[in-house]
A and B are shown apart, each in its own frame.
Chain A
């Protein structure tokens, strides 16, 4: 149980376009989901906390207009990278919160902006 999926697993897009990444909790409902970014050989950096039915809470330094988060249902959160640039290329990982403290992680999405 407690499986989280992400789609797509990898995506290549051109500079200036927008890309949407989906995060789904497959067998449980998650009021809270998290979005992380990971650079090569580094730890995960929390970007934002996604709350179902309300606005996301962004970490300091993360542009909310650049990284749009929508948590429209208890099993789906989306991250849209708007007007992507090469510096947005990264590995994006989501997680879903269960039992108030356990985070279950998705497999990640590799974004490459050319």
Chain B
């Protein structure tokens, strides 16, 4: 079965420190990979995506992610965390088709302490 794993329910980081939110996937074919962020009582906001090309992709709010095919990972990173980065983060996988469903990870709550 195709799946996306976010092994950490919660990640706690001090403001100014680098952060990493982990994501691994188990799918067949060539997936498209996404990161979304969700603030309380809001929908999902797109952060970044990997489709093809350079394995390091840069996205919104200073976030970046590295696609690692051999490790089937797509970890989200930021060099210096902000308190405002505190939110729920979802890794997701999809495929190109006219009715392409998304496979979501379980989500990781990121908490940045001042």
Interface size range of chain A in the complex: 20 to 34
Tell me the residues in window 5-63 of chain A with beta carbons closer than 8 Å to chain B beta carbons.
6, 31-32, 34, 41-44, 46, 49, 51, 57
Query: Which of A41, A103, A104 is most buried by chain B, counting CB atoms within 10 A of its CB?
Result: A103
Beta-carbon contacts of B28-46 to A below 8 Å, as 1s and 0s? 0000100010000111111
The secondary-structure label for the interface of chain A is strand
Contacts of A46 in B (CB 8 A): 101-102
CB nearest to B104 among chain A residues: A43
Q: How many residues of B contact A (CB 8 A)?
A: 24
Contacts of B98 in A (CB 8 A): 31-32, 97, 100
Beta-carbon contacts of B96-114 to A below 8 Å, as 1s and 0s? 1111111011110100000
The secondary-structure label for the interface of chain B is loop
Contacts A32-B98, A93-B43 supplied; 16 other A-B pairs, CB < 8 Å: A34-B102, A41-B109, A43-B90, A44-B44, A44-B104, A51-B99, A95-B44, A97-B99, A97-B100, A100-B100, A102-B49, A105-B36, A105-B44, A105-B45, A105-B46, A110-B41
Residues of B in contact with A (beta carbons under 8 Å apart): 32, 36, 41-46, 49, 90, 94-102, 104-107, 109
